[in-house]
Amino acid sequence: MVEAARKYKRMVQIGTQNRSSPNVVEGMRKLKEGVLGKLYMGRGITYKMRGNLGKHRPRPVPKGLDWDAWVGPAQMVEYSSFHHHRWYWISNFASGDVANQTVHDIDKLRWGLGLDTHPTTVMSLGGRYVPGDEDDADTPNTQAFLCQWAGRNVLVTFEFRHWYTNSEADMRDKYPFMEQNSCVGEIFFGSEGYMIFPDYASYYTFLGPKREPGPFKTMANVDAAKGYAGNYWRTESVPHFRNWVAAIRSGRHEDLHADVEQGHLSCSVCHMAKISCKLGRSLHFDPKTERFVNDPEADRLLRREYRKPYVVPDQV
Protein backbone atom coordinates (compact mmCIF):
# COMPACT_ATOMS: atom_id res chain seq x y z
CA MET A 1 0.00 0.00 0.00
CA VAL A 2 2.85 2.38 0.76
CA GLU A 3 4.46 1.62 -2.61
CA ALA A 4 1.16 2.10 -4.45
CA ALA A 5 0.40 5.39 -2.67
CA ARG A 6 3.81 6.77 -3.59
CA LYS A 7 3.82 5.45 -7.17
CA TYR A 8 0.39 6.85 -8.02
CA LYS A 9 0.76 9.97 -5.85
CA ARG A 10 -2.33 9.27 -3.76
CA MET A 11 -3.00 10.72 -0.31
CA VAL A 12 -3.82 7.72 1.89
CA GLN A 13 -4.88 8.80 5.36
CA ILE A 14 -5.08 6.06 8.02
CA GLY A 15 -7.92 6.07 10.55
CA THR A 16 -5.71 6.72 13.56
CA GLN A 17 -7.59 9.94 14.21
CA ASN A 18 -5.76 10.64 17.47
CA ARG A 19 -3.04 12.21 15.33
CA SER A 20 -5.48 15.01 14.49
CA SER A 21 -6.83 15.56 18.02
CA PRO A 22 -5.51 18.97 19.20
CA ASN A 23 -5.20 17.88 22.82
CA VAL A 24 -3.40 14.65 21.95
CA VAL A 25 -1.07 16.62 19.66
CA GLU A 26 -0.33 18.99 22.56
CA GLY A 27 0.38 16.09 24.92
CA MET A 28 2.77 14.53 22.44
CA ARG A 29 4.53 17.87 22.06
CA LYS A 30 4.95 18.06 25.84
CA LEU A 31 6.56 14.62 25.81
CA LYS A 32 9.03 15.68 23.13
CA GLU A 33 9.78 18.90 25.04
CA GLY A 34 10.85 16.78 28.02
CA VAL A 35 8.04 17.27 30.52
CA LEU A 36 8.72 13.72 31.80
CA GLY A 37 12.49 13.95 31.52
CA LYS A 38 14.02 10.94 29.79
CA LEU A 39 11.36 8.58 28.44
CA TYR A 40 12.03 4.90 29.05
CA MET A 41 8.73 3.07 28.59
CA GLY A 42 5.28 3.23 27.01
CA ARG A 43 2.36 1.00 27.94
CA GLY A 44 -0.99 0.56 26.20
CA ILE A 45 -4.09 -1.16 27.57
CA THR A 46 -7.52 -2.14 26.28
CA TYR A 47 -9.77 -3.61 28.95
CA LYS A 48 -13.30 -3.99 27.61
CA MET A 49 -16.28 -6.15 28.50
CA ARG A 50 -16.55 -7.91 25.16
CA GLY A 51 -18.64 -10.98 25.99
CA ASN A 52 -18.45 -13.86 23.53
CA LEU A 53 -19.21 -14.34 19.86
CA GLY A 54 -21.59 -17.28 20.05
CA LYS A 55 -21.73 -20.43 17.94
CA HIS A 56 -21.46 -20.75 14.18
CA ARG A 57 -24.92 -21.67 12.89
CA PRO A 58 -25.07 -21.60 9.08
CA ARG A 59 -28.11 -19.95 7.54
CA PRO A 60 -29.18 -18.58 4.15
CA VAL A 61 -27.32 -15.52 2.90
CA PRO A 62 -29.54 -12.41 3.36
CA LYS A 63 -31.07 -10.97 0.23
CA GLY A 64 -28.93 -8.22 -1.27
CA LEU A 65 -25.67 -9.38 0.33
CA ASP A 66 -22.89 -10.40 -2.06
CA TRP A 67 -21.39 -13.03 0.20
CA ASP A 68 -18.53 -13.84 -2.16
CA ALA A 69 -17.40 -10.21 -2.19
CA TRP A 70 -17.89 -9.91 1.58
CA VAL A 71 -15.61 -12.92 2.18
CA GLY A 72 -13.12 -11.45 -0.30
CA PRO A 73 -9.58 -12.87 -0.03
CA ALA A 74 -10.47 -15.08 2.96
CA GLN A 75 -11.34 -18.74 2.58
CA MET A 76 -14.98 -19.32 1.67
CA VAL A 77 -17.25 -20.43 4.54
CA GLU A 78 -20.98 -20.74 5.04
CA TYR A 79 -22.77 -17.59 6.08
CA SER A 80 -23.62 -17.19 9.77
CA SER A 81 -25.22 -14.30 11.62
CA PHE A 82 -22.09 -13.87 13.73
CA HIS A 83 -20.15 -12.78 10.66
CA HIS A 84 -21.80 -9.40 11.14
CA HIS A 85 -21.02 -9.40 14.87
CA ARG A 86 -17.35 -8.89 15.61
CA TRP A 87 -16.15 -10.88 12.63
CA TYR A 88 -12.66 -9.63 13.49
CA TRP A 89 -12.49 -12.32 16.21
CA ILE A 90 -12.35 -14.97 13.47
CA SER A 91 -8.85 -15.60 12.13
CA ASN A 92 -10.15 -16.41 8.64
CA PHE A 93 -11.15 -12.75 8.30
CA ALA A 94 -8.97 -10.77 10.67
CA SER A 95 -6.38 -10.88 13.47
CA GLY A 96 -8.60 -10.42 16.51
CA ASP A 97 -8.29 -7.66 19.08
CA VAL A 98 -4.51 -7.57 18.78
CA ALA A 99 -5.01 -5.62 15.53
CA ASN A 100 -8.24 -3.82 16.45
CA GLN A 101 -8.20 -1.12 19.15
CA THR A 102 -4.56 -2.06 19.70
CA VAL A 103 -3.44 -0.37 16.48
CA HIS A 104 -4.60 3.03 17.80
CA ASP A 105 -2.71 2.57 21.06
CA ILE A 106 0.47 1.30 19.43
CA ASP A 107 0.36 4.23 17.02
CA LYS A 108 0.28 6.70 19.93
CA LEU A 109 3.06 4.86 21.76
CA ARG A 110 5.27 4.95 18.66
CA TRP A 111 4.42 8.61 18.12
CA GLY A 112 5.20 9.67 21.69
CA LEU A 113 8.44 7.68 21.88
CA GLY A 114 9.60 8.70 18.40
CA LEU A 115 9.77 5.14 17.06
CA ASP A 116 9.74 5.49 13.27
CA THR A 117 10.82 2.03 12.23
CA HIS A 118 9.87 -1.59 12.99
CA PRO A 119 10.74 -3.21 16.32
CA THR A 120 13.52 -5.77 16.29
CA THR A 121 12.20 -7.99 19.11
CA VAL A 122 8.61 -8.95 19.94
CA MET A 123 7.42 -11.33 22.66
CA SER A 124 3.75 -12.24 23.14
CA LEU A 125 1.56 -14.71 24.99
CA GLY A 126 -2.19 -15.05 25.21
CA GLY A 127 -5.20 -17.19 24.49
CA ARG A 128 -8.96 -17.45 24.45
CA TYR A 129 -10.11 -17.72 28.05
CA VAL A 130 -13.32 -17.02 30.01
CA PRO A 131 -15.91 -16.33 28.66
CA GLY A 132 -14.62 -16.82 25.12
CA ASP A 133 -13.71 -20.47 25.68
CA GLU A 134 -17.35 -21.30 25.04
CA ASP A 135 -17.79 -19.66 21.62
CA ASP A 136 -16.51 -20.28 18.09
CA ALA A 137 -14.13 -17.34 17.83
CA ASP A 138 -10.50 -18.43 17.48
CA THR A 139 -8.40 -15.35 18.29
CA PRO A 140 -7.13 -14.42 21.78
CA ASN A 141 -9.38 -12.46 24.12
CA THR A 142 -6.51 -11.98 26.58
CA GLN A 143 -3.02 -11.16 25.36
CA ALA A 144 0.11 -9.28 26.37
CA PHE A 145 3.23 -8.41 24.44
CA LEU A 146 6.52 -6.52 24.72
CA CYS A 147 8.60 -4.85 22.00
CA GLN A 148 12.05 -3.33 21.72
CA TRP A 149 13.67 -1.24 18.98
CA ALA A 150 17.31 -1.37 17.92
CA GLY A 151 19.33 1.57 19.17
CA ARG A 152 16.54 2.80 21.44
CA ASN A 153 16.67 2.26 25.19
CA VAL A 154 12.90 2.10 25.61
CA LEU A 155 10.37 -0.67 26.21
CA VAL A 156 6.83 -0.87 24.80
CA THR A 157 4.24 -3.12 26.43
CA PHE A 158 0.59 -3.77 25.62
CA GLU A 159 -2.21 -5.81 27.15
CA PHE A 160 -5.87 -6.42 26.37
CA ARG A 161 -8.59 -8.32 28.27
CA HIS A 162 -12.24 -9.05 27.53
CA TRP A 163 -13.69 -9.69 30.97
CA TYR A 164 -13.74 -8.42 34.57
CA THR A 165 -10.58 -6.53 35.40
CA ASN A 166 -9.06 -3.73 37.43
CA SER A 167 -8.45 -0.19 36.24
CA GLU A 168 -4.93 1.10 35.62
CA ALA A 169 -3.54 4.56 36.43
CA ASP A 170 -7.12 5.54 37.39
CA MET A 171 -8.02 5.61 33.70
CA ARG A 172 -11.35 3.86 34.18
CA ASP A 173 -12.37 5.16 37.60
CA LYS A 174 -11.19 8.78 37.61
CA TYR A 175 -10.84 9.48 33.89
CA PRO A 176 -13.55 7.34 32.29
CA PHE A 177 -13.37 6.21 28.69
CA MET A 178 -16.37 6.63 26.39
CA GLU A 179 -17.57 3.08 27.05
CA GLN A 180 -18.84 2.03 30.45
CA ASN A 181 -16.73 -0.52 32.35
CA SER A 182 -13.83 0.04 29.94
CA CYS A 183 -10.26 1.08 30.57
CA VAL A 184 -8.45 2.08 27.39
CA GLY A 185 -5.43 4.29 26.91
CA GLU A 186 -1.69 4.78 27.05
CA ILE A 187 0.85 5.54 29.77
CA PHE A 188 4.26 7.11 29.13
CA PHE A 189 6.94 6.74 31.79
CA GLY A 190 9.92 9.07 32.20
CA SER A 191 12.65 9.93 34.69
CA GLU A 192 10.53 12.79 36.10
CA GLY A 193 7.03 11.30 36.10
CA TYR A 194 4.37 9.78 33.86
CA MET A 195 1.63 10.89 31.48
CA ILE A 196 -1.66 9.19 30.63
CA PHE A 197 -3.94 9.48 27.60
CA PRO A 198 -7.18 7.98 28.97
CA ASP A 199 -9.34 8.77 25.94
CA TYR A 200 -9.14 10.27 22.46
CA ALA A 201 -8.92 13.91 23.50
CA SER A 202 -7.26 14.23 26.92
CA TYR A 203 -3.92 13.91 28.61
CA TYR A 204 -2.78 14.26 32.24
CA THR A 205 0.74 14.55 33.65
CA PHE A 206 1.94 13.45 37.10
CA LEU A 207 5.37 14.51 38.32
CA GLY A 208 7.74 13.29 41.01
CA PRO A 209 7.23 10.74 43.79
CA LYS A 210 4.11 12.52 45.04
CA ARG A 211 2.45 12.50 41.61
CA GLU A 212 2.09 16.27 41.55
CA PRO A 213 -0.27 17.38 38.75
CA GLY A 214 1.49 18.73 35.69
CA PRO A 215 0.24 19.96 32.30
CA PHE A 216 -3.10 18.54 31.16
CA LYS A 217 -5.96 19.07 28.75
CA THR A 218 -9.39 17.45 28.71
CA MET A 219 -12.24 17.21 26.24
CA ALA A 220 -13.95 20.04 28.12
CA ASN A 221 -11.15 22.33 26.96
CA VAL A 222 -12.01 21.69 23.31
CA ASP A 223 -15.70 22.52 22.86
CA ALA A 224 -18.94 22.72 24.75
CA ALA A 225 -20.75 19.86 23.01
CA LYS A 226 -22.53 17.62 25.46
CA GLY A 227 -21.70 13.92 25.55
CA TYR A 228 -18.62 12.04 24.47
CA ALA A 229 -19.82 11.30 20.95
CA GLY A 230 -20.12 14.98 20.13
CA ASN A 231 -16.67 15.74 21.47
CA TYR A 232 -15.17 12.73 19.74
CA TRP A 233 -16.51 13.79 16.35
CA ARG A 234 -15.41 17.41 16.74
CA THR A 235 -12.00 16.85 18.29
CA GLU A 236 -10.78 13.91 16.22
CA SER A 237 -12.69 13.01 13.09
CA VAL A 238 -13.44 16.44 11.66
CA PRO A 239 -9.81 17.66 11.93
CA HIS A 240 -8.65 14.33 10.45
CA PHE A 241 -10.91 14.70 7.42
CA ARG A 242 -9.83 18.32 6.96
CA ASN A 243 -6.17 17.31 7.07
CA TRP A 244 -6.76 14.66 4.40
CA VAL A 245 -8.49 17.14 2.09
CA ALA A 246 -5.71 19.67 2.65
CA ALA A 247 -3.08 17.06 1.70
CA ILE A 248 -5.01 16.17 -1.45
CA ARG A 249 -4.93 19.84 -2.42
CA SER A 250 -1.24 20.25 -1.65
CA GLY A 251 -0.30 16.92 -3.25
CA ARG A 252 2.18 16.29 -0.41
CA HIS A 253 1.89 13.09 1.61
CA GLU A 254 4.18 14.75 4.16
CA ASP A 255 1.21 16.98 5.10
CA LEU A 256 -0.87 14.01 6.26
CA HIS A 257 -1.18 13.54 10.01
CA ALA A 258 -1.52 9.76 9.60
CA ASP A 259 0.15 8.80 6.33
CA VAL A 260 -0.18 5.20 5.13
CA GLU A 261 3.46 4.52 6.09
CA GLN A 262 2.70 5.34 9.73
CA GLY A 263 -0.28 3.01 9.55
CA HIS A 264 1.94 0.28 8.13
CA LEU A 265 4.47 0.67 10.95
CA SER A 266 1.80 0.53 13.67
CA CYS A 267 -0.12 -2.37 12.13
CA SER A 268 3.11 -4.34 11.67
CA VAL A 269 3.76 -4.28 15.43
CA CYS A 270 0.33 -5.82 16.01
CA HIS A 271 0.86 -8.51 13.39
CA MET A 272 4.26 -9.39 14.83
CA ALA A 273 2.62 -9.80 18.24
CA LYS A 274 -0.05 -12.02 16.66
CA ILE A 275 2.61 -14.23 15.06
CA SER A 276 4.67 -14.42 18.25
CA CYS A 277 1.58 -15.48 20.21
CA LYS A 278 0.61 -18.06 17.58
CA LEU A 279 4.09 -19.61 17.59
CA GLY A 280 4.48 -19.34 21.35
CA ARG A 281 7.93 -17.77 21.27
CA SER A 282 9.77 -14.48 20.89
CA LEU A 283 10.66 -13.22 17.43
CA HIS A 284 13.47 -11.13 15.96
CA PHE A 285 12.77 -8.88 12.99
CA ASP A 286 14.91 -7.11 10.40
CA PRO A 287 13.37 -3.65 9.72
CA LYS A 288 15.22 -3.27 6.41
CA THR A 289 14.16 -6.53 4.76
CA GLU A 290 10.83 -6.65 6.65
CA ARG A 291 11.41 -10.33 7.36
CA PHE A 292 12.11 -12.29 10.51
CA VAL A 293 15.72 -13.17 11.22
CA ASN A 294 16.50 -16.73 10.09
CA ASP A 295 12.91 -17.77 10.79
CA PRO A 296 11.06 -19.11 7.72
CA GLU A 297 8.25 -20.47 9.92
CA ALA A 298 7.42 -16.95 11.11
CA ASP A 299 7.95 -15.48 7.62
CA ARG A 300 5.20 -17.72 6.24
CA LEU A 301 2.72 -15.99 8.55
CA LEU A 302 3.50 -12.49 7.26
CA ARG A 303 0.77 -12.71 4.62
CA ARG A 304 -2.36 -14.74 4.09
CA GLU A 305 -3.11 -17.14 1.25
CA TYR A 306 -5.45 -15.08 -0.93
CA ARG A 307 -8.57 -16.61 -2.45
CA LYS A 308 -8.86 -15.87 -6.16
CA PRO A 309 -9.79 -13.48 -7.66
CA TYR A 310 -9.24 -11.35 -4.54
CA VAL A 311 -5.45 -11.45 -4.75
CA VAL A 312 -3.20 -8.55 -3.77
CA PRO A 313 -0.47 -8.37 -6.45
CA ASP A 314 3.21 -8.45 -5.56
CA GLN A 315 3.86 -5.62 -8.01
CA VAL A 316 1.82 -2.41 -7.78
Which domains, and CATH codes, for the chain? 2-54+96-299 (3.30.360.10)
User: Going by C-beta distance under 8 Å and a sequence separation of 6 or more, which residues neighbour residue 197?
Assistant: 18, 24, 27, 108, 185, 186, 187, 203
Degrees, nearest 5: CA angle 273-159-177 = 130
- Given strand 291-292, what is the order of strands in its sheet? 212-217, 203-207, 193-197, 183-190, 39-47, 155-161, 142-148, 121-127, 283-286, 291-292
Residue by residue, pLDDT tens for the chain (316 residues) are 999 999 999 999 999 999 999 999 999 999 999 999 999 999 999 999 888 888 888 999 999 999 999 999 999 999 987 777 778 899 999 999 999 999 999 999 999 999 999 999 999 999 999 887 788 899 999 999 999 999 999 999 999 999 988 889 988 888 765 566 789 999 999 999 999 999 888 999 999 999 999 999 987 654 444 444 456 667 788 999 999 999 999 999 999 999 999 999 999 999 999 999 999 999 999 999 999 999 999 999 999 999 999 998 888 8
Specify the pLDDT at position 233.
Answer: 67
Contact between residue 48 and residue 182 where contact means Cβ atoms under 8 Å apart = yes
* Residue 281: count of CB within 10 angstroms of its CB: 14
197-213 CB burial, b ≥16 within 10 A, e <16: bbbbbbbbbbbeeeeee
Give the integer Cα–Cα distance in Å for 123 and 44.
15
Can you say how many angstroms the Cα of residue 116 is from the centroid of all Cα atoms in its chain?
A: 15
Q: For residues 117 and 126, is the Cβ–Cβ distance under 8 A?
A: no
Rounded to two decimals, what is the model's pTM?
0.93
What are the phi and psi torsion angles at 148 (to 5°)? -135, 150
Alpha-helical (H) ranges within the chain are 2-7, 22-33, 67-71, 101-113, 228-232, 238-250, 260-279, 296-299
One-letter identity of residue 199 = D
Quote the pLDDT of residue 133.
Answer: 76
Q: Which pLDDT does position 177 carry in this prediction?
A: 58
Of 59, 58, 87, give the one whose Cα is nearest residue 72.
Answer: 87
pLDDT of residue 227: 47
